[in-house]
Amino acid sequence: MSHIPADVADTKPIEQIHPDNLPTKDPDHVAIALETLVKRSEEHDDVKNSMHAPMHQLASLPLVHRLLPGLKDLATQYHVGNYVIVRATGERIFESMPIYPRLGMHLLFYGGTQIKLLHNRSVESVLRDLSVRQGKVYDSPESVKSIPSFIETYSIGLDELEQPDITKYKSFNEFFYRKMKAGARPVANAADPNGFCSPADCRLTVYQTVTAATQFWIKGNRFTIPGLLGVAPKSEEALMFENGSVAICRLAPQDYHRFHSPIDGVVGDTTDINGQYYTVNPQAVNEPGFDVFTENKRSVLYMTHLQSGAPIAFVAIGAMLVGSIAWTNGGKQGQAVKRGEELGYFAYGGSTIVVLFPKGLVEFDDDLRKNSAVPIETLVKVGDSLGRSVLPTGGFDAAAVVRSADASGGEV
């Protein structure tokens, strides 16, 4: 996303996504526009002429705004995107949305997934096909031509990278899940055994309970912890995290897309869950009609926190145009990892990580909790402080947690 200073963004309204904001009443037109943008990513070096056209620059991009009647007017009348707080400075900034999630949301908001589109395809099948095609485009050797414009569009710095020479990357995707050089993401309070850290460069919201998360942020009508984990409501996994604490980490396209351990812990099992490719933009997550986190493709890693013995669920969630979720150290069952060590990465696209903690384990940092209650996301980096464990060493009693959750009969 492209940053706009808050005082500039405040000069015109922020669009609340609604199907009537675009004059087209035929969702086929939006699906065709998205397919055209994917095709252009093969043909054009400049990503701003395809999926990454920033909404606030649309008036100067006729190759893009002519795809749909009303797109230029929409971008002129509104700012399209989201406010975030930069943790390092406390500054409130506005991140302008690229065109592809805006059009993806139009398909969903137009009338839901029941609408059949071109060639009798559903919204889900269109988004899935587009995601697979875009992944193939950016895996190809020819895709390296788009790396310079991607860097320019998102002002991506190269000095932190393990490989700063962009000519060394063999595809766009290889640059997308680029590695940082050693020391680029130090862990805050590394000597504190009770500390937790951010697992990603991301826009972060945190909630002490799932109930609070569904009140302020995750508005999907059918969101539950069993649904997120893909387990039965009365399973041990579900009961362990009943009304537990939640950290939600949203990665934008320009972000460093490797993710890291938020804990000193031990790697456990992973479970892959097939699903959809909906956008994870906040306006979709905040919409009661869509259950983005429990519907999207995702992979669940279970870990054990060394200090307390508590389980942690690390859920890597794909999104619109995400090609794959890959585990590196997170795929090595039984391996001990320290805070800030790499667990895996996302291939091309936006994406989200949800970290679940058992109830009563973590106390999140004050600034993160206050921002999340607004609600507004906080822009953080891998290794930034997330919070602290409030349990003594070895203080987690799994059997007691399961008994208590089972007795409550909840499914939060």
What number of other Cβ atoms are within 10 A of residue 179's Cβ?
14
Q: What are the tokens at 381?
A: 């980096």
Residues taking part in catalysis: 201, 260, 351
Three-state SS for 237? helix
DSSP characters for 20-36?
GGSS---HHHHHHHHHH
Q: What are 1-22's pLDDT values in tens digits?
A: 467 878 877 888 988 877 777 7
pLDDT class of 162 with cuts at 50, 70, 90: very high
What does the pLDDT read at residue 29?
84
The domain spans of the chain are 2-84+97-133, 140-184, 195-408
**N-term to C-term CA, the chain:** 33
**3 state DSSP class of 137:** helix
Omega of the bond leading into 98 within 30 degrees of 0 (cis): no
- How much is the pLDDT for 1? 47
- 305 has pLDDT over 80: yes
CA-to-CA separations, 238 to 106, 157, 202, 226, 409, in angstroms, rounded:
33, 41, 26, 5, 11
pLDDT tens digits, one per residue of 259-295 = 999 999 999 999 999 998 888 888 788 877 678 899 8
Residue 395 has pLDDT above 60, yes or no: yes
Within 5-97, residue ranges assigned H as helices are 6-9, 27-43, 62-65, 71-77
pTM for the predicted model, two decimal places: 0.94
Residue pair 347/363 in contact (Cβ under 8 Å)? The answer is no
pLDDT in tens, 99-158: 998 888 887 776 454 455 545 568 888 888 888 899 999 999 999 999 999 999 999 999
Distance CA 143, CA 135 (A): 10
- CA–CA gap between residue 334 and residue 66 (Å, rounded): 54
**Amino acid at position 74, single letter:** L
